[in-house]
Amino acid sequence: MIIIKELHKKFGGNHVLRGVNYHIHPGEKIVVVGPSGSGKSTFLRCLNLLERPTGGEIWFDGQNITAPKADINEIRRHMGMVFQHFNLFNNLTILQNITLAPVKLKLMGEEEAKESAMKLLQRVGLSEKADAYPASLSGGQKQRIAIVRSLAMNPKVMLFDEPTSALDPEMVGEVLEVMKELAESGMTMVVVTHEMGFAREVGTKVVFMDEGNIMEENDPREFFNNPKCPRLQEFLSKVL
Amino acid sequence: MEWFESVWRHIDAAFIEKDRWRIYLNGLGVTMQVAIFAAVLGIVIGTLIAFMKLSARDNGKPTVLSRIANIYIDIIRGTPSVLQLLIMWFVVLKSCHNGILVASITFGINSGAYVAEIVRAGILAVDKGQTEAGRSLGLNQVQTMRYIVLPQAFKNILPPLGNEFIVLIKETAIVGYVSLSDLTRVSNQMTSTLFDAFTPLIGAALIYFVIIKILTILLGMLERRLRRSDNH
């Protein structure tokens, strides 16, 4: 579904991604872990071209999205993204946050978009917040809305960039719960996170990144019980 | 008692006798015409220049447009507005004899440089994550600007923009240099008519003060309205 070939990203003289190769299949839940500065967020942000790779290719559904003539706005409609800091639109109500993109991109009529938004809000138990503004919500609520906002576009894949890192500890659970349900529904997911429990439980593959490259990749059981590369062993000894 | 009578005599002479208040009113009319035309022009130019300057943002490298914008802002901010006015009146727009028009254009161009920085700062103050979220949903750059960034930037822009308009009203006091009879000039002329400097000048100062106070109150009301979405 997504094929990454020799992906490089430099910020000035800082070489953040150094030739990453990976293949994401439909329905997989890829969990990316690694120390900070390892390039995992940059890797994720390259997948929907929020960061422009400086080398290599990314193919999405048989299309080279790093080609200069690729219509990036069209491609992004099919890739939902959830951010560490939620990034709900502060000037819009919750309902408007969810319906803005489907309506303005003419994928749905106003009424249809509202109806489907209300269904999604019910799914995460926040339908009574439809007319509230983001400023009045807790972090956990904001992140659940942010997930729903992406889902309203019916994406083929969902990218999560440390979705629980900015949350108070007691709110992490409610967000992970929504993500688990999403995983069970069959969504293809790529998740950058520090939640090892989530990686173990939900991930179909766990990927360890360090120094701008993928150092190890395995199914969760092997990954945690039988890590091979020394950097991963060291990393796991610190975080587990 | 005598003191009050003397004060009243001065006020009567400066404002009421021979319907002299009309002269101040006409002066105020000139002041406000120049200020309002200049403000509208300044907002149009300033917004344009702000976007020209912002064209350099993504890659950090300047573009042709951002260079032009920077040169414009440098020149306007680097020279006194009195000189800009004199240059426009006696050199650039020499053939135009409509003083109000020349003054409006001059102050509009001048204000545009300051408005540009206000607009640019207001847009940059909107968290980058808002743009990223918009773009990640497939909205293009223009849609993201229009529906997400600009409505939020407007709240940042309004208070300094109101301030800029207030500065502009007072700055028009120099149009006397090109023989426009604005509020400052007519009150200054009145001092020699009456052989009394105190009353006309204090009177003019009061008029400026009241106009600006009213404006401040209106802007405060508008600002509170716009902030509503922040708090519930």
Give the pLDDT mean for A160-177. Answer: 94
Residue B132, domain CATH = 1.10.3720.10
If pLDDT is split at 50, 70 and 90, which confidence band does B230 have?
low
Per-residue pLDDT at A192: 96
Q: Do B134 and A89 touch (CB under 8 A)?
A: yes
Q: How far is CA A31 from the centre of its chain?
A: 10
Chain B neighbors of A149, CB-CB under 8 A: 137
pLDDT above 90: residue B217: yes
pLDDT above 90: residue B223: no
pLDDT above 60: residue A16: yes
The span from the CA of B63 to the CA of A127, in Å, is 46
Nearest to B232 among A48, A81, A133 (CB): A133
Residues of A (142-201) whose Cβ lies below 8 Å from B:
146, 149-150, 153
pLDDT above 80: residue B117: yes
Chain A neighbors of B61, CB-CB under 8 A: none
Q: Do B130 and A89 touch (CB under 8 A)?
A: yes
CA distances from A4 to A22, A33, A199, B116 (A): 5, 17, 21, 42
Q: Please count the other Cβ atoms lying within 10 Å of the Cβ belonging to residue A95.
A: 19
Chain A neighbors of B152, CB-CB under 8 A: 90-91
Chain A neighbors of B134, CB-CB under 8 A: 89, 101
Instruction: Kindly provide the b/e burial profile for residues B124-136, where b requires at least 16 CB atoms within 10 angstroms of the residue's own CB.
Output: eebeeebbbbbbb
- Chain B residue nearest residue A146, CA to CA: B133
In percent, the amount of chain A with pLDDT more than 70 equals 100
pLDDT above 70: residue B58: no
pLDDT above 90: residue B231: no
State pLDDT tens for residues A19-77.
999 999 999 999 999 998 899 999 999 999 999 999 999 999 999 999 999 999 999 99
State pLDDT tens for residues B67-110.
999 999 999 999 999 999 999 999 999 988 899 999 999 999 99
Q: Please count the other Cβ atoms lying within 10 Å of the Cβ belonging to residue A90.
A: 18
More confident residue, B60 or A141: A141
A224 touches A212 (CB < 8 A): no
Chain B neighbors of A88, CB-CB under 8 A: 133
The DSSP result for A139-188, as a single string, is HHHHHHHHHHHHHTT--SEEEEESTTTTS-HHHHHHHHHHHHHHHHTT-E
- Chain A residue nearest residue B227, CA to CA: A91
Per-residue pLDDT at B105: 96
Per-residue pLDDT at B14: 81
The CA-CA-CA angle for residues A157, A162, A168, to 5°, reads 130
Per-residue pLDDT at A236: 93
Mutation target to probe the A interface, by most A beta carbons within 10 A, among B123, B132, B136, B145 is B136
A80 touches A157 (CB < 8 A): yes
State pLDDT tens for residues A190-239.
999 999 999 999 999 999 999 999 999 999 999 999 999 999 999 999 98
Per-residue pLDDT at A83: 97
- Chain A residue nearest residue B136, CA to CA: A76
Q: What is the mean pLDDT of chain B?
A: 92
Residue B50 lies in domain:
2-231
The span from the CA of B80 to the CA of B7, in Å, is 38
Q: Residue A22 gets which letter from DSSP?
A: E
The span from the CA of A188 to the CA of A44, in Å, is 14
CA distances from B22 to A129, A178, B27, B28, B169 (A): 58, 72, 8, 10, 20
> Count of domains in chain B?
1
Q: Do B152 and A91 touch (CB under 8 A)?
A: yes
Query: Helices B99-124 & B150-171, crossing angle to 10 degrees?
Result: 140
Q: Please count the other Cβ atoms lying within 10 Å of the Cβ belonging to residue B70.
A: 16
Per-residue pLDDT at B57: 60
If pLDDT is split at 50, 70 and 90, which confidence band does B13 have?
confident
The span from the CA of A3 to the CA of A26, in Å, is 11
Q: Quote the minimal CA–CA distance from B228 to chain A in Å.
A: 10
Look up the pTM and report it: 0.85
